[in-house]
């Protein structure tokens, strides 16, 4: 008699390239689940064959109807439902969060099986700081929206992780260089596949590299945190104070420059009084 799973939702991480990266536990869940919710049945069918699974599949993505999600929630009362994305861990720029949210709200059993993630794998390949990082997913396609998204994180002292497509890569790298500064970065593609490649360098150089030769495959861009800013010199502070005092009273000018240059407001106020006198 085939063992059964506890009814509920099982979030299953699939390989991001090499099928051998499927964990034994994930393969077992795929063989035992009553139904498997997948992004694309054609893509997932290959993985299920590799896992030795003949379980039925139902298409599911974040644009699926509320009705379909409700049906899956109802099935979780008595059946086990596995959630499987096309590659990697579901919910990481892939479908799933709405289903997990609703399953928890309904009191269903929910568990997640650790497994591959292109974002984390690329981070480890980059050689850039890993102590603090932010996953940004795909940037907006429109120029202004992309610039606005980058401006929001330009001052964040953390390594940034982006997903990107080959045709957009060069333009996105150039936009990053403009918004974030010419930081150290890494471009990883086809992770765990035959033509895996990671290229490192300043954002501007990477943008130039891919301008005339857009790469193929799935791409992750890792951008290092901003470098330590050089402390402002006395000449810089004096110039900023003189400019600010043309527009503002001394006290407000000192406050503006203190915030801009990261200097002590009281010391700047005293210096401003000397400059004014």
DSSP string, the chain: ----PPSEEEEEPBPSS-GGGS-HHHHHHHHH-SEEEES-HHHHHHHHHHHT----EEE--TTS-HHHHHHHHHHTTTSEEEEE-SSBSTTSSSS-HHHHHHHHHTT--EEEE----HHHHHHHHH-S--SSEEEEEEPPSSHHHHHHHHHHHTT--SEEEEEE-HHHHHHHHHHHHHHH-S-EEEEEESTTSTT-EEEEEEHHHHHHHHHSSPPPS-EEEEEPPPPPPPPPPHHHHHHHHHHHHTTS-HHHHHHHHHHHHT--HHHHHHHHHHHH-
Cβ distance 93 to 85 under 8 Å?
no
Token duo for residue 23? 């964990």
pLDDT of 264 over the 90 cut: no
Over residues 184-194, mean pLDDT: 95
Write out pLDDT tens, residues 32-88. 999 999 988 999 999 999 999 999 999 997 677 788 999 999 999 999 999 998 889
Write out pLDDT tens, residues 96-142. 889 999 999 999 999 999 999 999 999 999 999 999 999 999 999 99
pLDDT at residue 263 in the model? 83
In angstroms, what is the C-alpha Rg of the chain?
25
Nearest to 81 by CA among 50, 49, 111: 111
Model confidence, pTM? 0.78
């Amino acid at each position: 008699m085939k063992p059964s799973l506890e009814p509920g939702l099982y979030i299953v991480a699939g390989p991001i390239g090499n099928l051998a990266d499927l964990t034994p536990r994930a393969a077992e869940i795929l063989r035992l689940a009553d139904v498997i919710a997948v992004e694309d049945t054609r893509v997932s069918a290959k993985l299920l064959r590799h896992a030795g699974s003949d379980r039925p599949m139902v298409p599911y993505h974040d644009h699926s109807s509320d009705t379909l999600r409700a049906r899956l929630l109802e099935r979780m009362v008595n059946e086990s439902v596995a959630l499987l994305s096309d590659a990697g861990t579901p919910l990481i720029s892939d479908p799933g969060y709405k289903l997990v949210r609703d399953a928890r709200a309904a009191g269903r059993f929910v568990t997640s099986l650790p497994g591959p993630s292109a974002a984390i794998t690329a981070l480890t390949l980059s050689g850039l700081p890993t102590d603090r990082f932010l996953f940004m997913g795909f940037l907006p396609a429109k120029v202004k929206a992309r610039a606005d998204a980058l401006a929001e994180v330009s001052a964040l002292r953390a390594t940034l992780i982006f997903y990107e497509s080959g045709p957009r890569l060069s333009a996105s790298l150039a936009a990053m260089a403009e918004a974030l500064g010419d930081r150290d970065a890494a471009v990883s593609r086809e992770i765990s596949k035959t033509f895996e490649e990671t290229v490192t360098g300043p954002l501007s150089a990477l943008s130039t590299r891919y301008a005339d030769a857009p790469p193929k495959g799935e791409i992750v861009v890792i951008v290092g945190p901003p470098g330590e800013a050089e402390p402002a010199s006395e000449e810089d502070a004096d110039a900023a104070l003189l400019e600010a005092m043309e527009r503002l009273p001394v006290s407000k000018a000192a406050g503006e420059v203190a915030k801009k240059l990261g200097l002590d407001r009281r010391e700047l106020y005293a210096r401003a009084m000397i400059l004014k006198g």
